Structure 1
Amino acid sequence: MIRVTICDDEQKQRNELRRVVERSLQLKGLEYQLQEFENGEALLAGLSAVSIDILFMDIEMGQLNGMETARLLRKHAPETLLIFVTSHPDYVFQGYEVKALNYILKPYKEQKILEVLDSALAELSEEAEQSFSVKHKGSQKRLLLRDIRYFWSERRKIHVQTEEETFTFYGKLNEIEEEMPECFIRIHNRYLVNINFVDEVSSEHVLCTGQMLPLSRTHKQTLQVAFAKLLLE
């Protein structure tokens, strides 16, 4: 799921940008969610409830302009791919301060929108292969896959264990398993482990970086085969 947000105080501009972006995502067959905000204040207020992969944001807006909004955004969502929309090219150079990926000048040229969108999707795809994004304590965190020891579920909550910290968010373990590379192996209906951190496999347990995790009969053979291959490498 790619989460795209458009923040612009002009409805007509939002509609035009949305039309081009949605058509491109649909033609690519990508699953997406697109939302709109009419000012920076509303965008920042909604950060606790939503995560943003790609953000198209107007610079010239109301009391809180796009640049000021971006500075505050970066405190909670440092990994969001930010694309500025502006009528004044002079603002473009300020984008480096908030790590903007690109910019689009008004009036819109459809080809430019498509080029910038493709660039963002390519970067998002590359990052997705190497990391996992979670919402934790009101902030969006991007964890490197190589640092994740295991996932485990507790009712509607998912916990991600790294070397130093545990991150918690709402989700389904089955959906996470589908997104993960082959090194993440299901060992139990509540546990998904990174095989690279497995030290020992017994009949009923898995030792993963010092933690004893349960191993179900259903997943035992798959894990044993994967662990045997790891030992032979």
Structure 2
Amino acid sequence: MVAVAVVDDDAEARARLRGYLARFAEGRDGMALSVDEFPSAVALLHHYQPTYDIIFLDIEMDEVDGIKAAQVIRETDPATILVFVTNMAQLAIKGYEVEALDFVVKPVDYYSFDMVMRKALLRMDRRRQSTVRLVTRGAVQVLPISHIDYVEVQNHYITYHTTDGDFTVKGTLAQAEDALAQGNFMRCNRWYLVNIDNITGLDGNLVTVGGRSIEVSRSKKQEILRAVTASMGGAL
């Protein structure tokens, strides 16, 4: 599912983009899309939650313009892909300050829209392959998978222990496994998922990762040993 927001004070412009989104999804075997429309930046920012993959954001709007709205969004959401929609291309240059992907000029033609959507999906794929996105207390943390040493579950909460600090979200170890499928992670017991590539020591039933010694269950010991050996090029 790709979650998209269309923010524009022009109802006709919103309808055009919604139609383009439906056409784009249909051309990809009915790719799953959810689309929310907002008639103003104020409406988008009211109780904003970092749930959108892509936001099409009109620049010229009353009260709060698109540039200002993007700056507010970036305070809590560094991951969403921003695409500016504008009557004047020169205004979109400010998009680099908020790491916008691109811009399209009104009236938006389908060719330009299609190109931007292709770029957006490519960026999403690259991020998903190398990072994990966590929503913590209304903020978004995008963590490089290689920075995650191990994941711990306690009372329906999972903590990602990383070289950049610890981040706790509600969830299960199975959900963490799915999110980290692109990495080299394995369960060492019921409560811990370890990054095989970051293990620095293996002694008996203990592995050392991120400066922490974690017990390996008997049923997992040989599997972990083989994985560590393979990660080290057979040098263990």
TM (norm. structure 2) is 0.85
Q: Hey, what does 2:194 align to over in structure 1?
A: 193
Distance change >3 Å, CA 106–CA 208, structure 1 → 2: same
Q: Hey, what does 1:50 align to over in structure 2?
A: 50
Equivalent AA in structure 2 for residue 188 of structure 1: N
5 Å-filtered alignment, 1:1-233, equals 1-25=1-25, 27-28=27-28, 30-47=31-48, 49-180=49-180, 181-201=182-202, 204-231=205-232, 232=234
Deviations 1:61-87 (A, max 9, x none): 221111111122222222322100112
State how far apart, in whole Å, the 2-side matches of 1:107 and 1:190 are: 54
Quote the offset at 1:26 in angstroms: 5.3
State how far apart, in whole Å, the 2-side matches of 1:78 and 1:105 are: 24
Equivalent AA in structure 2 for residue 35 of structure 1: D
State how far apart, in whole Å, the 2-side matches of 1:20 and 1:190 are: 46
Quote the offset at 1:119 in angstroms: 0.6
Task: Name the SS of the counterpart of 2:114 in structure 1.
Answer: helix
Distance change >3 Å, CA 93–CA 27, structure 1 → 2: same
Deviations 1:130-179 (A, max 9, x none): 21111223321211111111122223322111124111122333233123
State how far apart, in whole Å, the 2-side matches of 1:81 and 1:10 are: 21
Question: Which runs of 5 or more structure 1 residues have no equivalent in the other structure?
Answer: none
Task: Name the SS of the counterpart of 1:52 in structure 2.
Answer: coil
Task: Name the SS of the counterpart of 1:188 in structure 2.
Answer: coil
Distance change >3 Å, CA 182–CA 92, structure 1 → 2: closer
Task: Name the SS of the counterpart of 1:50 in structure 2.
Answer: coil
Equivalent AA in structure 2 for residue 194 of structure 1: N
Q: Do the aligned residues in 2 keep the contact of 1:51 with 1:140 (CA within 8 Å)? A: no
TM (norm. structure 1) is 0.86
Distance change >3 Å, CA 106–CA 156, structure 1 → 2: farther
Quote the offset at 1:126 in angstroms: 1.5
Deviations 1:112-135 (A, max 9, x none): 111101011112212222211112
Task: Name the SS of the counterpart of 2:188 in structure 1.
Answer: strand
Task: Name the SS of the counterpart of 2:95 in structure 1.
Answer: helix
Q: Do the aligned residues in 1 keep the contact of 2:50 with 2:80 (CA within 8 Å)? A: no
State how far apart, in whole Å, the 2-side matches of 1:151 and 1:28 are: 35
Residue identity (%): 28
Cα RMSD, aligned residues only: 2.4
Equivalent AA in structure 2 for residue 127 of structure 1: R
Equivalent AA in structure 2 for residue 216 of structure 1: S
State how far apart, in whole Å, the 2-side matches of 1:152 and 1:174 are: 11
Distance change >3 Å, CA 226–CA 17, structure 1 → 2: same
State how far apart, in whole Å, the 1-side matches of 2:35 and 2:188 are: 35
State how far apart, in whole Å, the 2-side matches of 1:151 and 1:81 are: 27
Equivalent AA in structure 2 for residue 220 of structure 1: K
Task: Name the SS of the counterpart of 1:51 in structure 2.
Answer: coil
Pick which of 126-135 and 168-177 moved more.
Answer: 168-177
Question: Which runs of 5 or more structure 2 residues have no equivalent in the other structure?
Answer: none
